[in-house]
Amino acid sequence: MSLPRREQTWERLREPWDVLIVGGGITGVGILLEAARRGLRAVLVERGDYACGASSRSSKLVHGGLRYLKEGRLALTRESVREREALLRAAPGLVERLPFVLPHYRGQRPGAASVAAGLALYDLLAGRRTRRRLDARQTLELVPEIERQGLLGAHGYGDAWTDDA
């Protein structure tokens, strides 16, 4: 099988398409994949190289948005965590679980109880439990280089990541 010549590619752009996608980052490529799965004739155009824009500079996180939860944006948090879970199911190997550790120190605000409540709500909105409470010893075993002074323990929770470039 050989690749089409440049002239053939340009000529095919004159054909009718069901969907024109502008931008070859993670969103554009995801839309292209979904359009192809649905049997649509789709074309993607990109002014530079694929994933050279925002996708090349992202955090790589596929997160549910703890920040949104902290801001009281429950509907957005719920949508984000549900989409994260859908991506984990739909694209295993492309989207993977990523554990996080939130340490708790003496005198820190918000306190451990507030963080626990927030993570419980985060899990509830996702329909999946990822959180766990860690004492100081467990935290040090998991993250030996963490600051020890005043360490009370931590909460572990899960989000996800992907290489979107």
Using CA atoms, how far residue 146 sits from 69, 70, 107, 109, 139, in Å, is: 26, 25, 17, 18, 8
Can you tell me the distance from the alpha carbon of 80 to that of 10, in angstroms, rounded to the nearest whole number? 38
Amino acid at residue number 24? G
- The answer to which of 26-35, 50-59, 64-73 has the lowest mean pLDDT is 50-59
Kindly report, residue by residue over 106-123, the tens digit of the pLDDT: 999 999 999 999 999 999
Can you tell me the distance from the alpha carbon of 118 to that of 157, in angstroms, rounded to the nearest whole number? 11
Can you tell me the distance from the alpha carbon of 45 to that of 13, in angstroms, rounded to the nearest whole number? 10
pTM equals: 0.72
Kindly report, residue by residue over 63-86, the tens digit of the pLDDT: 888 889 999 999 999 999 999 999
* pLDDT at residue 52 tops 80: no
Tell me the torsion sign for CA atoms 24, 27, 28, 34. Answer: positive
Output the six-digit token pair for 157.
């929770």
Can you tell me the distance from the alpha carbon of 107 to that of 138, in angstroms, rounded to the nearest whole number? 20
